[in-house]
Every structure is written in structure tokens, then in C-alpha cells.
Amino acid sequence: MDALKVLVARRAPTAVLERLSARFDVDYHDGEAPLTADELRARLQGRVGVYITGTERITAELLDACPDLRVVSTMSVGYNHIDVPACTARGVLVTNTPDVLTETTADLGFALLMATARRMSEGERLLRDGGWKSWSWDFLAGSEVHGTTLGILGMGRIGQALARRGRFGFNMNIAYHNRSRLPADVEAELGARYLSKEDLLKQADHLVLVLPYSAASHHAVGGPELALMKPTATLINIARGGIVDEDALAAALRDKRIAAAGLDVFEGEPKVKPVLLTLPNIVLTPHIGSATMPTRLAMAGLAADNLLAALTGGVAPTPVNVPVQRQAA
Ligand code: 8YV
């Protein structure tokens, strides 16, 4: 029997390629740049499975042009780049990589919070530019972190990991808003208070966005929401760029209506709006939330596990959808 044909649409660790190649006929895109939509469609012809990252978009149109596709395995926890309902309707299984990146992404979220509150990027720029001339009492004086209120918008796995860091590491008061409330025992363990979104915006000293991106969360934080925040507050986004209205944020930062922001994700990434680059009170990182070698290897390994299990009669460890059975041709 001929080996099943799969496409690895993005660079992957050698060990993952070896595992997939031992079982499948693998077409490997080894380029630095992601495949364009046209290239992806062409390379998916006759392929039953695809390994992607958060960059490649799987649309209904693409699915219709690639009728052999049965499994989409993304090496990411987020799956807003995949039209999941369209996959489900066509019997295509979607899998993602939750859990393995939770703690690492929470680490980055906290690092960004600290760097933003304590003006670390501003200080480094000043030092490198030769601008550190002397000491004064308010030199680079930032915001307090310990003992303040950590607001978390979106209290899934990463939100809870952030809450633990805030509560047990920094003695912070934890407040959150989420579509659904956490069970009482989890709230008690985290010392987390459930607030309305409006109250969370008003009360947070540091507000971290960790909610999934969808049409419902598009620009969930824009002008009206920023207007509710304290002028001393910081805003951290480690979720998806589209959750924040970047123009409204730039205006709020420029006018000091909030103190500072830390962004790891951008609406048009990898392009970043020039206005964001001009503001001193903003810390910018290039979407590195899950970027440690052990975590990236674990994510890639899990994406391969999903593809292997789903295409060889097993049960994919981390499915996103439960597709309806494909009709026999
Ligand atoms: C990845 C992410 O860097 O997992 C996610 O959803 O945003 C990041 O961990 C990226 O999407 C890689 O596929």
C-alpha cells in the first residue's frame, strides 16, 4: 500500500520530520518564508494531512480546493487561522497544541509585565544611546508590581498560570473576567475575584489579555475600554494583536491616559504599525510567548503525534473539533 501523503508546510525540528517521514510520504516546505495561499493550495493537492503553524490560513475556499485533506494539525494553541466550522462540515479533523506551552507563555507574559511596569526597554535604550548621565530621585521611576491588582482578561490555562505567578510570586490581588466563571475551588486556590469586564478595566493596575481571538473578541480593548482604565495602569497583550485597537492604544499611550503597554502580538504581524515604534512607554516583542527550545520541541512533537494518530487509526491527543464522518465517495 502506498504511504499516505502529507504536507509539512513550515520548518519543523529534524526529529519531527524523521517521525513523519517514517510513516508518510512527506512534502516538506523548508523555506524561511511561509507558503502563499496559492502555493499552499497547489502543494496540498492529493495530500490527506497537513502540519501548519499559526501563520498558514485554512479557509473554506482552500478546503474546497483540496478535497483529499482529512487532518489539519497546527503547532499552536490558537486556531483563529483555521476555519474550524468549515473543517467540521467537511469532515476534516483539526488539532492544536494546548498545555505544553502554558507555563512558558505565562513566563513571557509576566516578563513583559515586569519590563513594562519597570520601564526596562526605555532604560536599555537610554543606556545604549549614552543618555545615562546621572542619578535623580525619579529617574526611570516606574509602576509597582508586587501587591498591586493583576487583572486577567480570559482565564483559561495561561490566564490561570499568570494568576499563580501573580499571587504566589508577587503577592498580587488577582481579578479576572472570562466568558464563564471558574469553579469556586479554583477561584479560592488562585485567590481570584470574578469581575465584570467594566470593573476589571477600572480596577486593574496591570491588565493582561489572554483571551482567544474571534470575531467576538476583535478590538475587545479599544477607545471606550482604555478610557475606563487607570491612568497609572499597564496593558499587556500576549493573545492576538486583533484583540486590541492599536490606533486607540497608541493615542492612549501618547496622551498618558494609561501609563504603558507591553505587546507580544500585533494585528498585522510581522508588520508593526509605525506609530507603536515611536512611543517610549511601550515594550515590544516579536510574538515569542512560546519561544523556548523545550516548549517549541514539545509543540512540534505534539503536532506530529496528532497527525500520526489521526491518520493511522488512532485517537489524536488534542483535537479541536469532532468532525462529522466524511461521506464515502
Ligand atoms: C506560536 C501561538 O508562536 O500557540 C500559539 O497560538 O501564538 C504561538 O505559540 C505560533 O502560533 C506558532 O505556530
Query: Per-residue pLDDT tens for 96-154?
Result: 999 999 999 999 999 999 999 999 999 999 999 999 999 999 999 999 999 999 999 99
**What is the Å distance from ligand 1's center to 29 Cα?**
18
Atom of ligand 1 nearest to the CA of 75: 13
For 194-238, the pLDDT digits (tens) are 999 999 999 999 999 999 999 999 999 999 999 999 999 999 999
**pLDDT confidence bin for 329, thresholds 50/70/90:** very low
Q: Crossing angle for the helix pair 157-164 and 102-117, nearest 10 degrees? A: 50
Out of 10, 57, 76, give the residue to mutate to test ligand 1, the one with the largest number of ligand atoms within 8 Å of its CB.
76
* Cα–Cα distance measured from residue 104 to residue 16, given in angstroms and rounded to the nearest whole number: 21
Out of 290, 296, 318, give the residue to mutate to test ligand 1, the one with the largest number of ligand atoms within 8 Å of its CB.
290
Whole-structure pTM value: 0.96
- Give pLDDT, residue 324: 73
Q: What is the mean pLDDT of the chain?
A: 97
Q: Which residue's CA is minimally distant from atom 2 of ligand 1?
A: 76
278 phi and psi angles, rounded to 5 deg: -90, -10
**What is the Å distance from ligand 1's center to 55 Cα?**
9
**What is the Å distance from ligand 1's center to 287 Cα?**
8
> Tell me, which fold does domain 102-284 have in CATH?
Rossmann fold (3.40.50)
> DSSP letter at 151?
E
Annotated catalytic residues are 240, 269, 287
Whether the domain at 4-98+293-328 and the domain at 102-284 fall into the same CATH topology: yes
Residue 328: is its pLDDT beyond 60? Answer: no
Measured at the CA of 118, the angle between CA 116 and CA 121, to 5 degrees, comes to: 60
How do the domains of the chain map onto residue ranges?
4-98+293-328, 102-284
**pLDDT confidence bin for 240, thresholds 50/70/90:** very high
Q: Which residue's CA is minimally distant from atom 9 of ligand 1?
A: 290
Pocket of ligand 1 from Cβ distances under 6 Å? 53-54, 75-78, 101, 287, 289-290
- Give pLDDT, residue 2: 87
Whole-angstrom CA distances from 14 to 20, 52, 76 are: 10, 15, 18
* Cα–Cα distance measured from residue 266 to residue 328, given in angstroms and rounded to the nearest whole number: 42
> Tell me, which fold does domain 4-98+293-328 have in CATH?
Rossmann fold (3.40.50)
- Give pLDDT, residue 125: 97
Atom of ligand 1 nearest to the CA of 291: 3
Matching residue, cell 509543540? 299
